[in-house]
Structure 1
């Protein structure tokens, strides 16, 4: 069963689908999409869940198109680490200077986070609660995530599943990483407001969280504490990349080709290191996340305008795809059971995998346009008093 699932809490303006992509991080949107894709492939194993043993009984290599997709089947959960780094990069880019200059208040920062993350979260929480109630009645076991008590529901309602429960993944399990990131959002705002963090502060925070993470690994401590520490580490990696990029912007823009070559060499060095010394999955994520951010941000001017909006649209599906894919899996399994069919058998077919991915991202796109963006706009208008000014015009 998966131990890592991801999500991402990056703001998207309500009219993003129709707006110009000028000023948007199109390259970063690509990275967000591929990170979401990795998580979806990693969680594909859910279709092989057996309620009689409450486990997934399948060799990972038996999953469809394994030869092509094995990095995602084996390590797709690392998408969460990449998402955390992306969040750090974007938050430092969009918010840091404005918080330091007191152009973004605590109320406005909270409202932006709440309006972006909460509506879809609470809708999917209710959906999973209803679906799990039906599934457990028919199968005498919960689907994938067994922690579904009233307390677990309350913890999810207050968006704290990643740090108020030892198992972190009750109900709509993947939400744990967004919940964990909320803790870091608060820390980021307080540090920016009261400590005016810059590059030195950010590097120190990154090193401190890395040391704490290493200590927790040594002590074999898992759960809420380790999740928050690792989230902080990758978030501040992303922040450090932004601050360093800004300092080197002129050099990078004058030597984009050289930047691309250096990033590719970093990938090659990582592969060679892992081949020789074995490496670790966390090392891979620690290198891939910042290098990919730099690479895709650097080549953004080379991305044709005709591709910019479609890429931005794909990026807009990431939060919805993260929150809806587990409820969709659960609903699919229930429907197939009602039809007398086995998801474990059908999921071995590559066309089932293709259909699953198409449905998830298509539905995520619809959810973004029909529910996410309108709900975000509605809340920001109705609760604008919290931020002290119209939240619809606020920074992302």
Structure 2
């Protein structure tokens, strides 16, 4: 599963590379096929489906939290204070650092170009929302333009998920599959009203269901057979998906059927319906089965034991939150020196971006994030023990 954490942020960069081609750094007036993105003919699927990577993050979080925390919270072994301390110190140091960096960088972009880069609403109100990591809780003016480090929306939703998760475990409902399925279905309604929160809840609690399936399978004497079946299913699903992406046989068939049964709708609506169905298919079946396959394979056959992969996985949060400030910095450098933004069409530019992002993320993780985490956790643990000592 470290493979997912290591590679996912790198794919997110591909999803956001299109930002360099937005008109006035605000609107995209062309399809991805016409943007001349680096290596697009070879990485088209990653460019188009990479937004679903965030779902994979939430799915993985749900799996790990139910595996590691649920019983400890239900048995009162882990208190709300300790849980919050460890989760806060995981997310906040890098979030705060990138927030302050963008407080400095976005005004520079504005002075150069008369507008911000991609993310707007960089005002005092949205700064406060970001400061408390609640910028995606409905208090912002526009969800998609909630200020400063736009990708940090998922970290904000993650905090909300922590609270829902803790309450569920505290009430000892974490093993109730009916409740969890109900939450997943309810998330579809929430997503219609507020997409970001609904997306997080849906995938997080799908991850919980994947954990329960994994936990059931891990106790069986025929675990190896179950693992092999799941591996085979995952391979078939990916072959089907890759074939569909290459040859579009499902899309072409769906367009014919939609034209027949929904003749009043135009081709744009038909395409949108198909894309929604495809995304639901990925989120609800391919992502969960892939995660289950990896968890079972690691349990049955052992992990890959790749230290460099674990190192990258540990710095995944830094990579995810740092890539947008680095994009803003890139725009400042290019615009300040009068270099054409056509430079972002270059494969070399993309590779150079990765060459800067990955080492920077490793440095931030090991020399800033981890030391700050340790200091805050040590201080928080001492504070938590003081009332107990006084009572004793």
- State the TM-score, normalized to the length of structure 2: 0.83
Which residue, 154, 162, 179 being the options, matches 2:156?
A: 179
Distance 2:203 2:151 in 1: 18
Distance 2:186 2:240 in 1: 26
**C-alpha deviation, 1:258, in angstroms:** 2.9
Instruction: Please tell me whether the aligned partners of residues 41 and 76 of structure 1 are also in contact (alpha carbons under 8 angstroms).
Output: yes
Distance 1:247 1:106 in 2: 28
Distance 2:173 2:81 in 1: 18
**C-alpha deviation, 1:152, in angstroms:** 0.7
**Which aligned pairs between 1:86-235 and structure 2 lie closer than 5 A?**
86-163=60-137, 164-168=139-143, 169-200=146-177, 201-210=179-188, 212-213=189-190, 217=192, 221=193, 225-235=194-204
1:41 aligns with 2:14: yes
RMSD: 2.2
Higher relative contact order (CA 8 A, sep 6+): 1
1:263 aligns with 2:238: no
User: Tell me, which stretches of 5 or more residues in structure 1 are unaligned?
Assistant: 1-27, 390-396
1:32 aligns with 2:5: yes
**Which aligned pairs between 1:1-396 and structure 2 lie closer than 5 A?**
28-51=1-24, 54-56=26-28, 59-61=31-33, 62-163=36-137, 164-168=139-143, 169-200=146-177, 201-210=179-188, 212-213=189-190, 217=192, 221=193, 225-249=194-218, 250=220, 251-268=222-239, 274-275=250-251, 276-277=253-254, 278=274, 279-300=277-298, 302=301, 307-342=305-340, 344-385=341-382, 387-388=384-385
Distance 1:136 1:151 in 2: 18
Distance 1:110 1:39 in 2: 27
User: Could you give the per-residue CA deviations for residues 82-115 of structure 1, whole angstroms, max 9, x where no partner exists?
Assistant: 1111110011011001101111100001101111
User: Could you give the per-residue CA deviations for residues 325-361 of structure 1, whole angstroms, max 9, x where no partner exists?
Assistant: 011111111122222212x211111111111122212
**C-alpha deviation, 1:57, in angstroms:** 5.1
User: Tell me, which stretches of 5 or more residues in structure 2 are unaligned?
Assistant: 255-273, 387-392
User: Could you give the per-residue CA deviations for residues 173-194 of structure 1, whole angstroms, max 9, x where no partner exists?
Assistant: 1011110121111011011002
Distance 2:303 2:59 in 1: 25
Question: Aligned with 2:120: secondary structure?
Answer: coil
Question: Aligned with 2:306: secondary structure?
Answer: helix
**C-alpha deviation, 1:39, in angstroms:** 1.0
**C-alpha deviation, 1:274, in angstroms:** 4.6
User: Could you give the per-residue CA deviations for residues 349-388 of structure 1, whole angstroms, max 9, x where no partner exists?
Assistant: 1111111122212211111111111111110001114555
Question: Aligned with 1:280: secondary structure?
Answer: helix
User: Could you give the per-residue CA deviations for residues 31-70 of structure 1, whole angstroms, max 9, x where no partner exists?
Assistant: 122322221100111222443x743455422111001111
Distance 1:388 1:202, change over 3 A: farther
**Greater share of helix:** 2
Aligned residues: 350
